[in-house]
């Protein structure tokens, strides 16, 4: 089996990988690694953290494939594992004072609202946008990235995160409102 081998459908690859077929698992890695890395990069905004999460996600997937009752749901399942790890990573950052960014550096007031006056020092709208994203809760940020950047519908985000569609709508609405407010004067 070579990289990007498409002779085998997803279910076949998952069933074979579950039984220790390393070639099949390698093919799954080839199919999902770039997508997962892109999602984690956008969610975490840090290359090293994103690579760590992708590595942990796929190694955990290998070890716990037996827990996946429906092989066809591998895509949703693997994104759920990655989403949970991203959420944990964001929570850990917030919980560790050494990792928390200085509000002045971020040009964000402690109440979470962006200050355009302070942000004037920022070089670009992109930097300001990145700092606004950091004001979102970890749950809002994951849901918003899945929806806004990865293109998933509300129902798909709900299935991925294992929560109700109503909760997804709420998280994305609050995230969108915070981003709009944070970017006021920048667009």
Partner 1 sequence: MDMNEHVGSGAEPDQTNDDLQRESDAQLRGVIDEYMATFEPEPEDTAGVRERILQLVRDDLYRGPSTRLQTEHGHPFSISTAAVRSIVRRAVDSVDGIRARSVDVEPAGEPEGSAATVSLTLAMRAGISFAPTAEAIRGAVSAAVLSELGIPAVRIDINAEDVYVD
Residues that bind partner 1 (CB under 8 A): 7-12, 15-16, 18-22, 25-26, 29-35, 37-38, 41-42, 45, 47, 51, 54-55, 58-59, 62-63, 72-76, 78-79, 125-126, 129-130, 147-156, 159-160, 169, 172-173, 176-177, 179-180, 183, 186-187
Positive or negative: CA dihedral 133, 138, 141, 146: positive
Q: Which residue, 120 or 180, is less far from partner 1 as judged by CB? A: 180
Least distance (Å) between residue 47 CB and partner 1: 7
10-18 vs 74-95: helix crossing angle, rounded to 10: 70
- Report the 10 Å Cβ neighbour count for 155: 10
Minimum separation from the CB atom of position 97 to partner 1 (A)? 26
Q: How far is the CB of 126 from partner 1 (least distance, A)?
A: 5
Q: Measured from the CB of residue 125, what is the shortest distance to partner 1 in angstroms?
A: 5
Identify the residue whose tokens are 């085998």: 8
CA dist., res. 95 & res. 38, Å (int)? 25
CB-wise, 2 or 110, nearer to partner 1?
Answer: 2
Nearest to partner 1 of 92, 173 (CB atom)? 173
For the record, the structure tokens of 164 come out as 């109700």
> Please, which residue, 70 or 97, has the CB nearer to partner 1?
70
- Closest contact distance (angstroms) between CB of 128 and partner 1 is 8
> What residues form DSSP beta bridges with 115?
none
Which CB, 38 or 118, lies closer to partner 1? 38
- The SS3 of residue 108 is strand
17 phi, psi to nearest 5 deg? -60, -35
Tell me the C-alpha distance between 143 and 90, whole Å: 13
């Amino acid at each position: 089996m070579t990289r990007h081998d498409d002779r085998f459908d997803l279910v076949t690859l998952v069933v074979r990988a579950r039984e220790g077929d390393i070639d099949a698992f390698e093919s799954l890695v080839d199919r999902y690694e770039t997508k997962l890395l892109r999602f984690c990069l956008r969610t975490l905004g840090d290359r090293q953290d994103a690579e760590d999460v992708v590595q942990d996600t796929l190694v955990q997937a290998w070890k716990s494939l037996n827990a996946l009752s429906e092989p066809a749901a591998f895509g949703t399942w693997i994104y759920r594992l990655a989403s949970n790890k991203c959420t944990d990573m964001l929570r850990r950052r917030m919980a560790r004072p050494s990792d928390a960014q200085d509000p002045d550096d971020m040009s964000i007031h402690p109440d979470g609202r962006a200050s355009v006056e302070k942000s004037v020092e920022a070089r670009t709208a992109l930097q300001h946008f990145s700092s606004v994203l950091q004001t979102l809760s970890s749950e809002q940020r994951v849901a918003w990235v899945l929806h806004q950047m990865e293109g998933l519908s509300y129902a798909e985000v709900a299935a991925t995160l294992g929560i109700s569609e109503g909760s997804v709508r709420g998280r994305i609405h609050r995230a969108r409102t915070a981003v709009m407010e944070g970017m006021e004067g920048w667009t």
